[in-house]
Structure 1
Amino acid sequence: MILYLSLWDNLCMMFLGMALFKWGFFSAKLSTRSYWLSLLGSYSIGLPLSAVGMFLMQQRLLDPAQYAQQWIIPALGYDVQRALAGIGHASLVILLYRSGVVPWLLKALANVGQMAFSNYILQTLCCTLFFNGYGLGYYGKLAYHQLYYVVAVVWIINLTFSAIWLQFYQFGPLEWA
């Protein structure tokens, strides 16, 4: 059942991304006003829904019996939360790009995007070595807030690796394949 729901979840997000791409959303073809409206609209609905969903999930995790019986309730709005937050994040990045405020950050993100597959595998290796038993074995041992430190370190690794690699090569090592 979970695999079935996961398949539909992934397909719906891919279709949303394809529709946004076809409309020119990711190519910065829309007006600046459109991106501001999508940013404000997406964040004003998506972020409060995400906060409520996270609160409900944490409450259910504190009581495993209640979590096992009612796991679907906080997950019902998850797809909407994720889609809206993603559209808001993309709008923010496009607005930052258009403003030219932080060109170094946008260049760094472009490097990571240019090596997306290599960075995906790199972050998978980093996290499996950090969390799994054949590595450091930190799975289930960190508080929620400590996971943000892990995310920051993985991003620093990806940003650094991409910048260094792309000084010598046009594509990432796995993109050649």
Structure 2
Amino acid sequence: MKGKYKMGFGHRIEELDYLRGFALLGIVLVNILPLLELGMPKAGSLDAAYWRLLYLFVEGRFYTIFTFLFGVGFYIFITRANEKGKNGVVLFLRRIVALFLFGLVHVQFHPGEALTVYAVCGLLLLPFYKVNKVMNLFLGLVMFIIFSMFSFKLFMVIPIMLLGITAGQFRLFEKLSEKKKGIAVFTGIMFVLSISGLLYQYQHAPFIIEERLEMEIRSSQEFVRIGIIIGPIVSAFYVGLLVLLLQYRFIQKLLSPLKSYGRMALTNYMMQTVIILVAGNGFHLIGNISLIHSFFICLMIYVIQLSFSVIWLRYFYYGPLEWTWRAITYLQIPPLLNQMGDRLSGD
């Protein structure tokens, strides 16, 4: 059994780091709105157009990718631990407890944070690690269809995470260079479905006309509801397109900062909140800026965090919180200083 996984999971799957970094880019665009207490935009304004773009192309799309990747990482972590002769389930339970503790701290400052939700859902899905992959695929799809009908974002975490576990079982992220044709076909199908879904969603986009406020509120709710339903399809297109592009060396080099950003996903996710709240309170931005201004703040956060991630990983094996998370998981102090300039495969 040990030899079965050696080829597939013996090295770090870099595409997953790129995808995590990509997901973080979108998540901050949405999270900044409640953190800075930004309300609905005025009718006919540039902010109103930006709000519609967020809910068409960002809201529910990047969070879905992050959730799916957590499921993939869930499976890979336990599998690699078992390969090394360790008890993967016990290590995973410690890992989940540590994640929950991180989340408890984070939720004090960001009520909509995801870490506590991921920890609870990860615990609930632990038995599915040993379930047959075809059964997991079936259950994940059925739950996804049922929960999407309720259009409640929180409900979607379980099926999307389970589909991530299933992707790990099917080894979808192994030997991607040999799967370019299949990835291209998948991405093409998701593109067509995404365009169809987005056009339908746009038809319900509110334009926030004050004379028809009640009607626009109902329209806004329908607009968001449709977005939740089609979100995973758009997310799948984003993932397929990025994975396809990453099969080219030039794109890998061009987007290399994104890989570092994703390797430090936990640190960067929590630091996004810190930066936003410090800037918001320090410069009196909370409730006092427009949605467009929040976009430019996010651009500055990108520059800060991408640069920091690249520089940090030149000298250290792990991000600060990743190192802490690993220490709690293994109950031992892992190496941090990267004296030789090499890289660990990591979990």
Give RMSD over aligned pairs: 2.9
Post-superposition shift, 1:138? 4.8
- Alpha-carbon separation, structure 2, partners of 1:173 and 1:127: 19
The equivalent residue for 1:93 is 242
> Are residue 36 (structure 1) and residue 181 (structure 2) matched?
no
TM-score (norm 2): 0.43
* 1:13-32 matches, cutoff 5 A: 13-27=160-174, 29=176, 31-32=179-180
1:66-104 Cα distance to aligned partner (Å, 9 max, x none):
243344422332234321221111112211221212232
> Are residue 46 (structure 1) and residue 191 (structure 2) matched?
no
The equivalent residue for 1:154 is 301
Between 48-57 and 15-24, report the one with greater CA deviation.
Answer: 48-57
Aligned with residue 269 of structure 2, among 115, 120, 123:
120
Match for 2:161: what amino acid? Answer: M
Of all paired residues, the percent bearing the same amino acid is 17
- Alpha-carbon separation, structure 2, partners of 1:77 and 1:65: 19
Q: Is the 8 A contact 1:47 1:81 kept in 2?
A: no
Match for 2:321: what amino acid? Answer: L
Between 153-162 and 54-63, report the one with greater CA deviation.
Answer: 54-63
Match for 2:198: what amino acid? Answer: S
Residues 38 and 10 of structure 1: CA distance in aligned 2, closer, same or farther (over 3 Å): same
Please say which structure displays the higher CA radius of gyration.
2
TM-score (norm 1): 0.77
- Structure 2 unaligned segments of length 5 or more: list them: 1-149, 325-347
- Alpha-carbon separation, structure 2, partners of 1:166 and 1:108: 10
The equivalent residue for 2:217 is 68
- Structure 1 unaligned segments of length 5 or more: list them: none
Between 107-116 and 44-53, report the one with greater CA deviation.
Answer: 44-53
Count, aligned residues: 172
Post-superposition shift, 1:134? 5.9
The equivalent residue for 2:130 is none
